[in-house]
Amino acid sequence: MAYVIIDLFSRFVVGWMVATKECKHLAAQLFAETIARHGVVPGLQVHSDRGSAMKSDTLAQLLDTLGASRSFSRPRVSNDNPFSEAQFKTLKYQPDYPGRFASVLHARAWLEDFFDWHNERHHHAGLALFTPADVFHGRVAEVAALRQAALDAAYHAHPERFPNGQPRARLPPDAVHINPIFTEAVEVTVLPAIEDRVTPMMTALAS
């Protein structure tokens, strides 16, 4: 059983745990340690599947104490937690994914390497090919400037290769939502770093 907590805005895996079974106390422990480690302010929203550990009173009481609110995927609706589902698909499609783990220690060792790659070196399609760490740690402007300099140099050297004009470096989305409902136009503020966000959101999945 793998518990994984993702920062929704950056897709950065902020906490994870491998256990032999689903357990509400372990889930609560993981959230407590993860929130303490990253210093998330009250106002956090946690979206999760409907597993027993995620819906337990133990976790509910902990999150309430920490000033966090909860939301859940709808029953039998697979795309209500798309970010966690996509991350697990990425995990299971890795060339060295073993399919079955020989032991808990084997699973932990493999996942440790995977999450290090995912956070630090995975150029995420949903983040304009920035890494989760770039977005989570507020490095987007710095990396974008380097990319733009490379694009500018390529354009000035061979403008004929760019029929649509001078290219611009793409940026990650300004805002990310799960199942957003808008009844009127909403002004969106760019929030590049987790410490600057008023209402950070995590999504969690146990598989």
SS (H, E, C) 35-49: HHHHCCCCCCEEEEC
**Eight-state DSSP code of residue 165:** -
Q: Residue 129: is its pLDDT beyond 60?
A: yes
What is the share, in percent, of the chain residues with pLDDT greater than 90?
Answer: 64
- Is the pLDDT reported for residue 189 higher than 60? no
- Residue 188's pLDDT band, with cuts at 50, 70 and 90, is very low
The mean pLDDT of 98-125, rounded to a whole number, is: 96
Strand duo 69-72 + 201-206: pairing: unpaired
Domain assignments of the chain as residue spans, ordered by start: 2-135+189-206
Asked if 43 and 66 count as a contact pair (C-beta separation under 8 A), the reply is no
Quick one: tokens of 159? Answer: 């403008």
Q: Which of 140, 108, 142 is nearest to 124 (CA)?
A: 140
| Topology of the domain comprising 2-135+189-206 | Nucleotidyltransferase; domain 5 (3.30.420)
Q: What pLDDT band is residue 112 in, cutting at 50, 70 and 90?
A: very high
What CA–CA distance (Å, rounded) separates 170 from 140? 10
* Gap between the Cα atoms of 205 and 1, Å rounded: 10
Higher pLDDT, 129 or 184: 129
**pTM metric for this prediction:** 0.83
Buried b (16+ CB within 10 A) or exposed e, 141-151: eebbeebeeee
Residue range 130-147: mean pLDDT, rounded: 98
50-65 b/e with 16+ CB inside 10 Å = b? ebebbebeebeebbee
Q: pLDDT band at 167, cuts 50/70/90?
A: very high
